[in-house]
Amino acid sequence: MTAAPGTAVPAATPAPAPTAAGHDAPASPPRRALPLGTTVVLALLTAIAPLATDMYLPAFPRMAVDLGTSAAAVQLSLTTFMVGLALGQLVIGPLSDQRGRRGLLVAGSALCAAAGLACALAPSIAFLVVARFVQGFAGAAGVVLSRAVVADRARGTAAAKLFGVMMLIQGVAPVVAPLLGGTLVTAVGWRGVFGILAGVSALMLVGVLVLVPETRPHEARTRGGLAATLRDARTVLGNRRYLGWTGALVLGFAAMFAYISASPFVLQNVLGLSVGAYSVAFAANALGLGVVAGLGTRLVDRFPPQRLLGVGVTAVAVLTVLLLLDVVLLDLPRWPTLVLLFLTVSALGLVFGNATTLATDEVAHAAGTGSAVMGALQFGVGAAVSPLVGLAGERTAVPMAVTMLVLAVGAVLAARFAATAPAPPAAVPSADA
């Protein structure tokens, strides 16, 4: 962030909001800067979902023993969380366009804390599976509404800086969470991990109550119930620029998920790293992603987000080509492979924040709906891609390299599609507007 402590992050000059076809958009109030404390709370809210997804993974074997169940049943608790996370975003995002952001953020944070406590006290696997679904559904509020709040208050360069910070945390959290989880599982057990997650959600609830204002006042809210929601959804999904920028974000995020899923096997079984060396390499890649994302928040003062995104997706594509050649032709030498993985993950730091900025700018009038579609695709595609990297077994890196390359090329094509797509036509006010 470029703002000094205690200062507010500047908001961009508002641009005219596009409207749903045939209807005038609600009048938007003057945009005010988001205080730095609010920005920090919003950024941390985006980390709840990846932390709740990955922190308890090292405890799976112990959970199966404690709950007297199978490994597959424990795995189901992760699946139901992801389903809840996706469905929650699709429900909460559009609802916030009609009901406002803050109340739903408060309710979601409170329910997420309660569900985390329920997971910690779960007497059976069936209870845990249901509690995890509720935790995912409630946690979706932080993911989807943090983006919507930023979109309500900022555009262009200012939004890129805010989203850069948020996507930095959301991008680093899945990388750091398994390492943190391994330490916590050893220290406090899996029930303690869920208790800590409940405590984090409770702290976020306090942060929302104290620092997050309502950014969707009554005069700016969509009216018309389900019909208005469906109209907004059609407008969002019909905006080709939005779809392209969202595609670049989703495919880049999926490439990172492919790396996360394959890295334990590739770095330890194939490259022969010890557990300690693997942890160092994993942490170094997370640091690289964070450094580049932080650098991106400063570069937007000199270069537009579209150009930075283009550099990011192109770099990831080129690096994954080199990674595949390294895997296939050079039989995976240790240091070149580690360097290529570091550079690839780091380059994603230019993708996440800038793609999010460009996508939300396209659908600012329905930021909740746009954020919902983006988030559901982001986590849904990431979860679907993860199993692909293990198709050929645990002692080859080819599936990981191929999957990451395909996703990187897809991100380049998606960004190109968005950059060349025509602007959506201006809406013509209807007689009943």
Identify residue 96 by its one-letter amino acid code: S
**How distant, in Å, are the alpha carbons of 44, 46, 64, 100, 264 from that of 260?**
21, 18, 23, 35, 8
User: How much is the pTM?
Assistant: 0.75
Buried b / exposed e along 303-342 (16+ C-beta atoms within 10 A): ebbbebbbbbbbbbbebbbbbbebbeeeebeeeebbebbb
* Tokens (6 digits) for 112: 């997420």
Position 349 in a domain: yes
Domain that holds residue 230: 32-420
Task: Give 49's contacts (C-beta < 8 A, 6+ positions apart).
Answer: 85, 136, 139, 140, 142, 143, 379
Residue 26 lies in a domain: no
Are 394 and 400 within 8 A, CB to CB? Answer: no
Residue 25 lies in a domain: no
- The greatest distance separating any two alpha carbons of the chain, rounded to the nearest whole angstrom, comes to 69
CB-based contacts of 280: which residues, under 8 Å, 6+ apart? none
With 0-12 CB in 10 A as exposed, 13-18 as middle and 19+ as buried, what is 4? Answer: exposed
CA distance 215 to 292: 29
Q: Is residue 118 a part of any domain in this protein? A: yes
Percentages helix, strand, coil for the chain (3-state, rounded to 5) are 75, 0, 20
Work out how many domains the chain is built from and give that number.
Answer: 1
> The domain that contains 258 carries what CATH number?
1.20.1250.20
The phi, psi pair for 8, rounded to 5°, reads -95, 150
For the four alpha carbons of 408, 391, 346 and 182, in that order, the dihedral sign comes to positive
- Residue 412 domain flag: yes
**Residue 316 is assigned to a structural domain of this protein:** yes
Q: What angle do CA 229, 96, 215 make, to 5 degrees?
A: 130
| 351 in any annotated domain | yes
Phi–psi pair at 221, nearest 5 degrees: -80, 150
Tell me, yes or no, whether 217 lies in a domain. Answer: yes
Q: Nearest-CA neighbor of 306 among 415, 386, 401? A: 415
- State the pLDDT at residue 48: 84
List, run by run, the mean pLDDT of 10-residue segments along the chain (433 residues).
Answer: 40 41 44 74 85 82 89 83 89 88 94 97 96 95 89 79 75 73 86 95 95 83 72 85 95 89 81 81 85 87 92 97 89 83 94 90 84 86 77 75 95 96 60 36
- Find the helix or strand (DSSP H, E) in which 35 lies: strand 34-35
Give dist(CA 49, CA 53) in Å, integer: 6
Closest CA to 178 of 70, 344, 59: 59
CB atoms within 10 A of CB 224: 13
